[in-house]
Amino acid sequence: MSFVCGISGEPTEDPVVSPVSGHIFDRRLIVKYITENGTDPISHTELSEDTLVSLKTGGTGSAPRNVSGTSIPSLLKMLQDEWDTVMLNSFSLRQQLQIARQELSHSLYQHDAACRVIARLSKELTAAREALSTLKPHTSSKVEDDVSIEETDEQQGLSEAILAKLEEKSKSLTADRKQRGKNLPEGLAKAEEFAGIKQTASHTGIHSTGTPGITALDIRGNLSLTGGIDKTVVLYDYEKEQVVQTYKGHNKKITAVVLHPDGETAISASADSHIRVWNSNDSSSKAVIDVHQAPVTDISLNASGDYILSSSDDSFWAFSDIRSGKSLCKVSVEPGSQIPVHCIEFHPDGLIFGTGAADAVVKIWDLKNQNIAASFPGHTAAVRSIAFSENGYYLATGSEDGEVKLWDLRKLKNLKTFTNEEKQPINTLSFDMTGTYLGIGGQKVQVLHVKTWNEVASLSDHSGPVTGVKFGENARSLVTCSIDKSLRVFSI
């Protein structure tokens, strides 16, 4: 007689019975189970090896012969079945091996890619640290209370010598402006002539073609200075169609540029919070003004040519020396609040200036006292652009909702309001040198006659938002730039 093990389901070699559950097991298997678990495998009650009862069987004790193995055909059938099983198992193993190889290959590829990314980021971090160390001015290790560079610059203030210089320049400019204002230039474009204005040139390869587009513009004669989203500043002769110099150094897009009257000095502001001063003979910056803690949104050059105003999203404006790269004063537009300042512009006499901010209020500042001289509420959205007329009487401001307002600085009131049909943001404003015409850059270029406030020209040649509009001599030409990466010249 043979017994079947309750664990393996096979005939037992040394049968024992569990007094707990009454089932029969092979001693070898039940002892191993008890060692690991200490319980009966059927009833799961506590069981020890000593309580197991051995069973005695009669006969020789050999396992009964399988009936199917008693003939040659049966043996051949068993071998065939075994062969089939082996082949199926081999096929399954080959499939699993192929899957494992694919997973291993994918894991190795991911590991290699991760190593490459880590190496690149480490290289960029090292380069950034080196660049930062060269940009930051070195201070003495014994400076008390850890005074920052910005705080040191703010403490300098406007000296008597600087104020005297600004006032002297203002007086001479005022006298010249009054003399010019008596008679308009003979060659000044007439309002009816703008109906025939046409595009005479289009330059699309100035900045990177892969990163659109041009975000800032200034011109002097036949030279244009442009800044782009590609982080570069380009000095370009648009008559000769020749790049004079390319300036690289900013880490983020350019937000504003100014071409110095000397034709050799260029100034740029960027979203990396820095202002850089360049020279046409050298591609590296001569000075770096690091006064703001957020993107610099706009800059304006003082008539003396030595100082620059800057505005920033950190809610401050700053007055800095472009020769030394030092900030002379830094003032919050609204102490205790964080109102981004979007635009800033010097009045032609250089002693007052205007700011436009996210609170939709235009403010006129006295530079000598750093106080607000006048406020112009009236816009219903953030003020994005600002421009003073050359005669010093008018101020134009443009808002995010497509509204342009003309203010009289003598009477401190709004004279005219113009709203574009698209109600898209007014990105840039610019008067011609006589203050007769106002150029507006939004979804398209528009030219208004200031006295009548009539639209004398509307140019839709750009395929993207217009970011720069500048008048040429006697308003007989117009230079524009756009996010569509093009610099266009229009002439009467």
> What's the rounded mean pLDDT across residues 458-466?
92
**Tokens 């406030």 sit at which residue?**
453
> What's the rounded mean pLDDT across residues 148-163?
61
The pLDDT score that the predictor gives to residue 64 is 55
How many whole angstroms separate alpha carbon 223 and alpha carbon 282? 16
Greater confidence (2 vs 454) lies with: 454
Tell me the average pLDDT of the chain.
87
Return the closest-CA partner of residue 437 out of 472, 464, 461. Answer: 472
- Token pair of 6 as six digits: 């309750």
The pLDDT score that the predictor gives to residue 131 is 78
> What's the rounded mean pLDDT across residues 52-65?
68
- Three-state SS for 385? strand
The pLDDT score that the predictor gives to residue 229 is 93
Structure confidence at residue 420 as a pLDDT band (50, 70, 90): confident
Tell me what percent of the residues of the chain surpass a pLDDT of 70: 92
CB atoms within 10 A of CB 77: 13
Q: Summarize pLDDT for 351-392 with one digit per residue, the tens.
A: 999 999 999 999 999 998 889 999 999 899 999 999 999 888
Instruction: Output the CA–CA distances (angstroms, integers) from residue 440 to 203, 223, 445, 471, in the order listed.
Output: 20, 21, 6, 11
Exposure string of 206-226, with b = 16+ CB inside 10 Å and e = fewer, is bbeeeebbbbbbbbbeebbbb
**Tokens 């209370």 sit at which residue?**
145
Does residue 109 surpass a pLDDT of 80? Answer: yes
How many whole angstroms separate alpha carbon 100 and alpha carbon 414? 76
- Token pair of 175 as six digits: 């006298």
> For 1-59, CATH number?
3.30.40.10
How many whole angstroms separate alpha carbon 133 and alpha carbon 138? 9
Does residue 145 surpass a pLDDT of 60? Answer: no
Angle among Cα 280, 389, 364 to the nearest 5 degrees reads 95
**Ramachandran bin of 119, using left for φ above 0, alpha for ψ from -120 to 50, beta for the remaining angles:** alpha
Cβ neighbours of residue 83 under 8 Å, at least 6 residues apart?
none
Structure confidence at residue 146 as a pLDDT band (50, 70, 90): very low
The pLDDT score that the predictor gives to residue 154 is 44
Greater confidence (86 vs 130) lies with: 86
Residue type, 259: L
CATH topology of domain 172-179+186-491: Methylamine Dehydrogenase; Chain H (2.130.10)
- Token pair of 485 as six digits: 């990466």
User: Which segments of 128-220 are extended strands (E)?
Assistant: 198-203, 214-220
The pLDDT score that the predictor gives to residue 151 is 40
Does residue 293 surpass a pLDDT of 70? Answer: yes
Query: Are 384 and 406 contacting, i.e. CB atoms less than 8 angstroms apart?
Result: no
Greater confidence (156 vs 457) lies with: 457
User: Is beta strand 383-388 parallel, antiparallel or unpaired with respect to 394-399?
Assistant: antiparallel
What is this structure's pTM?
A: 0.67
Query: Are 484 and 229 contacting, i.e. CB atoms less than 8 angstroms apart?
Result: no
Tell me what percent of the residues of the chain surpass a pLDDT of 90: 56
> What's the rounded mean pLDDT across residues 233-239?
92
Does residue 144 surpass a pLDDT of 60? Answer: no
- Token pair of 118 as six digits: 């880590």
User: Is beta strand 307-312 parallel, antiparallel or unpaired with respect to 316-321?
Assistant: antiparallel
User: Is beta strand 232-237 parallel, antiparallel or unpaired with respect to 223-228?
Assistant: antiparallel
Handedness of CA 182, 183, 188, 193 (dihedral sign): positive
Does residue 342 surpass a pLDDT of 50? Answer: yes
Residue type, 171: K
Cβ neighbours of residue 227 under 8 Å, at least 6 residues apart?
214, 215, 216, 217, 233, 234, 253, 254, 255, 256, 257, 268, 270
**How many residues can be counted in the chain?**
492
Does residue 156 surpass a pLDDT of 90? Answer: no
Domain ranges, ordered by start, for the chain: 1-59, 172-179+186-491
Structure confidence at residue 321 as a pLDDT band (50, 70, 90): very high
Instruction: Output the CA–CA distances (angstroms, integers) from residue 284 to 129, 246, 278, 288, 323, in the order listed.
Output: 18, 9, 7, 10, 15
- Token pair of 77 as six digits: 């059938």
Does residue 471 surpass a pLDDT of 80? Answer: yes
Q: Summarize pLDDT for 184-207 with one digit per residue, the tens.
A: 888 899 999 999 999 999 998 898
Identify which of 62-66, 254-258, 301-305 has the greatest average pLDDT: 254-258
The pLDDT score that the predictor gives to residue 134 is 61
The pLDDT score that the predictor gives to residue 65 is 56
How many whole angstroms separate alpha carbon 42 and alpha carbon 352? 97
Return the closest-CA partner of residue 389 out of 458, 438, 456. Answer: 438
Return the closest-CA partner of residue 200 out of 13, 448, 477. Answer: 477
The pLDDT score that the predictor gives to residue 62 is 55
Cβ neighbours of residue 1 under 8 Å, at least 6 residues apart?
57, 58, 59
How many whole angstroms separate alpha carbon 473 and alpha carbon 415? 27
The pLDDT score that the predictor gives to residue 150 is 40
Query: Are 268 and 233 contacting, i.e. CB atoms less than 8 angstroms apart?
Result: yes
Query: Are 65 and 78 contacting, i.e. CB atoms less than 8 angstroms apart?
Result: no
* Backbone φ, ψ for residue 119 (5° rounding): -65, -40
Q: Summarize pLDDT for 245-289 with one digit per residue, the tens.
A: 999 999 999 999 999 988 889 999 999 999 999 988 888 888 999
Structure confidence at residue 133 as a pLDDT band (50, 70, 90): low
> Is-cis flag, bond preceding 227, omega within 30?
no
- Token pair of 414 as six digits: 């709004």
Cβ neighbours of residue 240 under 8 Å, at least 6 residues apart?
222
